[in-house]
Structure 1
Amino acid sequence: MPEKEVLLTLGGLKKLEEELEYLKSVKRREVAERIKEAIGFGDLSENSEYEDAKNEQAFIEGRILALEKTLRHARVIDTQELPDNVVSLGSKVTVKDVDSGEELTYEIVGSLEADPGEMRISAQSPVGKALLGREVGTLVEIQVPDGTLRYQILSISK
């Protein structure tokens, strides 16, 4: 079964590459040192430091494998090639909540890059899906667990 393509912005790709490099070059060494120290404490059957370090090592190795797989299947979206007048992956979209009058600016990103606290929303999220392919001035209605959001698109930038 072919692997699913992972869409990323250039910034998202760099962030994943930096995390992978950090895990390989820094965290692996740190955990190996902790394991070495814990072995020095003696009896491994009742050595919680050793057990904790081995668990962390397993987590780090799993994360490294996941990142490597993601990067193998990554496709970077060149935001400069996308139309400026239509919401697409990599777009920054300013919307106005029609009901409250509040203005919000979202960046539409791939699912691995999403960070709602930073207003970076996945293109696969309800809001992201509703905004994709739309133009300035468009009114969109979005079904969310709390009801229906009504947003008007005010601007789109890269």
Structure 2
Amino acid sequence: MARRKIILNQDDHERLQELLHSAFANAFGDKPYLRDLRGELDTARVVDVQDVPQDVVTMDSIVRLRDMQSHELETYTLVYPDEADIAAGKLSVLAPIGTAILGYQVGDVVRWKVPSGISRWRIEELVYQPERDCLTS
């Protein structure tokens, strides 16, 4: 099954490309989820900020995710690595779940490999999206 193209705004796309080519990302080695993110960026639908659909997870979005196995609901803010603090709910885009949700929409189920198998989470709600807030300001 072919994966759908993720949607990113131009600024996030450029900043993420720079991040993946940085010494910081290179320190992680060739992790499968980073290869996946590189592939997603290469094929992403890149749009102007005002053209980002209001239900797409972008950088600095606050998102509610449901674990499809335990049905637990978690809330995270998707951030760049230098802002990450999982205890405060700030999830790095370079974490496996962070790379999995970037650019996907409310209702999508994202999957990624974990040591115990495949983890599946549904994007339940987009509590906050910076692009949406910019349009209403």
1:5 offset after TM fit, Å? Answer: 4.6
Per-residue deviation, residues 113-148 of structure 1 (Å, max 9, x unmatched): 001111111111100000001001001112123432
1:85 offset after TM fit, Å? Answer: 1.3
Q: Which has the higher contact order (CA 8 A, sep 6+)?
A: 2
Unaligned runs of 5+ in 1: 7-79
2:69 is aligned with 1:99: yes
TM-score, length of structure 1 as denominator length:
0.47
Per-residue deviation, residues 33-52 of structure 1 (Å, max 9, x unmatched): xxxxxxxxxxxxxxxxxxxx
Cα distance in 2 between the residues matched to 1:144 and 1:115: 20
- Report the counterpart of residue 118 of structure 2 in structure 1: 148
Aligned residues: 82
TM-score, length of structure 2 as denominator length:
0.54
Higher helix share: 1
Structure 2 vs 1, CA of residues 5 and 140 (structure 1 numbering), >3 Å: closer, same or farther?
Answer: closer
2:79 is aligned with 1:109: yes
Cα distance in 2 between the residues matched to 1:88 and 1:107: 10
1:84 offset after TM fit, Å? Answer: 2.6
Per-residue deviation, residues 75-112 of structure 1 (Å, max 9, x unmatched): xxxxx855431111101110111100100011000010
Structure 2 vs 1, CA of residues 114 and 101 (structure 1 numbering), >3 Å: closer, same or farther?
Answer: same
Instruction: State percent identity of aligned pairs.
Output: 35
Cα distance in 1 between the residues matched to 2:90 and 2:114: 17
Higher strand share: 2
For 1:100, the aligned partner's letter is S
Moved over 4 A (4+): 80-83
Greater Rg over alpha carbons, structure? 1
